[in-house]
Amino acid sequence: MEIIISIVVGILFTVGTYLILSKNMTRIIIGTGVLSHGVHLLLLTMGGLKKGAAPLLGQEAPFYTDPLPQALILTAIVISFGVTSFFLVLAYRTYKVHGTDDMEKLRGIDHD
């Protein structure tokens, strides 16, 4: 199973990178979203996908899945949500102020 998930992670990374490399600001933000999904899935996979009970002691099962990666992912999800929403508003403001969403045109001030 890990191999299949790893390939899925690879595809998510490919799509995320491809979007981040485009000129359009909205696509870049969407790309970061895809990328963070990929990362979360990767974290989960690295923790091992062995079948066990959910990490709730009330289940009284002989085996549990590893709780630590889950805690890490939970933190990561919240942080990437914060960053994504910030980016979204930043993109909105940039578009309002500069009137373009083309990254190639947003090059700062030419000093020479």
Q: What minimum distance in Å lies between the beta carbon of 32 and another protein?
A: 10
Closest by alpha carbon to 19, among 32, 10, 7? 32
In angstroms, the Cα distances linking 65 to 31, 39, 77 are 30, 19, 19
Q: What minimum distance in Å lies between the beta carbon of 19 and another protein?
A: 6
# residues contacting another protein (CB under 8 A)? 85
* Token pair listed for 7: 């390939």
**What residues between 56 and 95 interact with another protein by CB under 8 A?**
56-58, 64-68, 70-71, 73-75, 77-79, 81-86, 88-93, 95
In angstroms, the Cα distances linking 61 to 50, 51, 53, 55 are 14, 11, 6, 9
Q: What minimum distance in Å lies between the beta carbon of 66 and another protein?
A: 4
**What residues between 18 and 57 interact with another protein by CB under 8 A?**
18-27, 30, 33-34, 37-38, 40-42, 44-57
Can you spell out the DSSP letters for 7-23?
HHHHHHHHHHHHHHTSS
Q: What minimum distance in Å lies between the beta carbon of 22 and another protein?
A: 7
